[in-house]
Amino acid sequence: MTTTDLDAGTPARTSAPRGTGTRATRVLGIATVVAMAWLVAFGLGFSPADRDQEESVRILYVHVPTIWIAYLAFVVTAISSGCYLFGRKKSLGFDRVAGASAEIGVVFMAVTLIVGALWGRLTWGVFWQWDARLTTTALLFVTYIGYLAVRRLGGSHHQRAKRSAVLGLLAVLEIPLVHWSVRLWRSLHQEATVLRTDGDISMDGLMLFSLFVGVIAFTLLYVWLLLHRSRTMFLEDLIEDRGLDQALAARRAEAEEVRP
């Protein structure tokens, strides 16, 4: 940090506020919006209704990509946590990527659970089924909410990074155990189900393409969000670091103003 910044009081006011964007993210953002528009056009318009699920299959074009992104986000969190923990540099950048990714994952998973319930109401006749995939997802959702809570516990950035990295890796240990136990539970207690179609359908070309558009669109969105969110986290850390310094400087400046 340079002293001139502090003396200036409000350092970067002079330059235009540019936020966390760059030309690259702007291009990425536009591509995302275009892909989303395509997704709506194909998902709600061009793609045909399914033989079994009829129109409700259209929900899958957003539902499948969101859950895919949620799981991708958590995988990225785990890898990034590992990179922080086992890397020689202990780079906080990895920690921020892990945190940002987990946050995005939680948002997408919340959407997935709600949209999944809507789809279930149409296809199964009930909002919720105690199916292995669903139950695992719900438990995972809570687990990562816990992860985000731990990130906010406080302490230095490296303390936070270490703690959450360990937790991010432990969550990966948890996933197979939870999934296995729930699978075993359901297979032993098969209940009569309403209108069983299993969610597995044979998709024709156009339907597959719509799904493909959805996956692309949401993956672009994920990358865009990840870039912005991890940069915002960088700013948060930086401002927290110099928060005290800046508060002192501001007080000093106030005192100067009072005394001409």
Partner 1 sequence: MSRWRVALLVARKDLAIEWRSRVVLDQVLPFAGVTMVLFAFALDSDAVLERVAPGLVWLAVLFSLLVLVQRAFAVEAADGALDALRVAGVDPMSIYWGKGLSLALQLLVLEALLLAAAVVLYGAEVPAEGVVLLVTTSITATPGLAAVGTLYGGLAAGFTGRETLLPLLVLPAVAPVLIGATRAVESALGTAGAATSDGWPWVGLLTVFAVAFGVGGSLAFGPLIDE
Partner 2 sequence: MSAAIVGAIVEMDDAGFIIGSYVLTFATVGLFAWRTLRRGRRLAEQVPDEEKYWL
Residues in touch with partner 2 (CB under 8 A): 5, 10-13, 15, 17-22, 36, 40, 43-44, 54-56, 58-59, 62-63, 66, 104, 107-108, 110-111, 114-115, 118-119, 121-122, 221, 224-225, 227-229, 231-232, 234-236, 238-239, 246
CA 195 – CA 197 distance, rounded (Å): 6
Counting Cβ atoms within 10 Å, is residue 13 exposed (0-12), middle (13-18) or buried (19+)? exposed
Interacting partner of 236 out of partner 2, partner 1, none (Cβ under 5 to 8 A depending on kind): partner 2
Which residues, 6+ apart, have CB-to-CB distance to 1 below 8 Å?
A: 242, 245
In this complex, which beta carbon is closest to partner 1, that of residue 139 or of residue 253? 139
Interacting partner of 149 out of partner 2, partner 1, none (Cβ under 5 to 8 A depending on kind): partner 1
Interacting partner of 145 out of partner 2, partner 1, none (Cβ under 5 to 8 A depending on kind): partner 1
In this complex, which beta carbon is closest to partner 2, that of residue 67 or of residue 169? 67
Q: Give the nearest distance from C-beta 181 to partner 1 in angstroms.
A: 4
CA 159 – CA 155 distance, rounded (Å): 6
Give the CB-side neighbour count of residue 37, counting CA atoms within 13 A: 6
Interacting partner of 121 out of partner 2, partner 1, none (Cβ under 5 to 8 A depending on kind): partner 2
Counting Cβ atoms within 10 Å, is residue 10 exposed (0-12), middle (13-18) or buried (19+)? exposed
In this complex, which beta carbon is closest to partner 1, that of residue 81 or of residue 210? 81
Q: Give the nearest distance from C-beta 77 to partner 1 in angstroms.
A: 16
In this complex, which beta carbon is closest to partner 2, that of residue 182 or of residue 211? 211
Interacting partner of 188 out of partner 2, partner 1, none (Cβ under 5 to 8 A depending on kind): partner 1
Interacting partner of 162 out of partner 2, partner 1, none (Cβ under 5 to 8 A depending on kind): partner 1
Interacting partner of 231 out of partner 2, partner 1, none (Cβ under 5 to 8 A depending on kind): partner 2
Which tokens hold the place of 145?
A: 């909410």
Which tokens hold the place of 156?
A: 């230095």
Q: Give the nearest distance from C-beta 169 to partner 1 in angstroms.
A: 7
Which tokens hold the place of 218?
A: 């949401």
- Binding region for partner 1 (CB under 8 A): 85, 139-140, 142-143, 145-146, 149-150, 153-155, 159, 162-163, 166-167, 169-170, 173-174, 177-178, 180-182, 184-185, 188
CA 62 – CA 34 distance, rounded (Å): 15
CA 147 – CA 163 distance, rounded (Å): 10
In this complex, which beta carbon is closest to partner 1, that of residue 50 or of residue 95? 95
CA 228 – CA 257 distance, rounded (Å): 37
* Burial track 107-135 (b if 16+ CB lie within 10 A, e otherwise): ebbebbbebbeebbeebbeeeebebbebb
